[in-house]
Amino acid sequence: MNPASANSPAPRELDVRPILRSGGEPFQAIMEAVSGLKPGQALRLLAPFRPQPLFKVMAGRGFAHAAREIGGGDWEVLFTPEEAGSPVAFSADAEDPEVWPDPTVNLDLTELDPPEPMVRILSAAESMQAGEVLFALLSREPLFLYPELAKRGHQWAGNFDETRTTFRIFVRVGKVKA
């Protein structure tokens, strides 16, 4: 299950226990650490609990995990990159995104901070016709965009590129719900 090769760089270590002890939220620090990984590099995370919700987020970014308790209730999790790019995720109602038409709108939003990418994607989708496709590049997975797209009847498909620094998303504009 461990796809890292013997030639992979040493894992980067991130200890989020001090952040949590001070009342902080470590998610941004974790995502910044992931963005700073070299190709093929793993992330060794130290936490005061088993970070179960993070496993799905990291799987979406193409990382397998191995977790073990290291004592005192603390956990060590080694997130190891899968060899191939992350799998394509798509909305539950998306029917075969591979046959969607070519995008009519292309946006590079990698330099924008949240929530601006979400605002621009939703705004662009409002001016498009049902069935048209928008393509956007983002600096992170747009977790808060997905429910907004679903509310508006749009479908999506996306994943991280091979470097895991850019999220690619296709949005197929849906019909306006009455």
Distance CA 83, CA 40 (A): 8
Indicate the pTM of the whole model.
Answer: 0.57
- Top pLDDT among 39 and 132 is at 132
pLDDT, one tens digit per residue, over 63-83 is 889 999 998 999 999 999 876
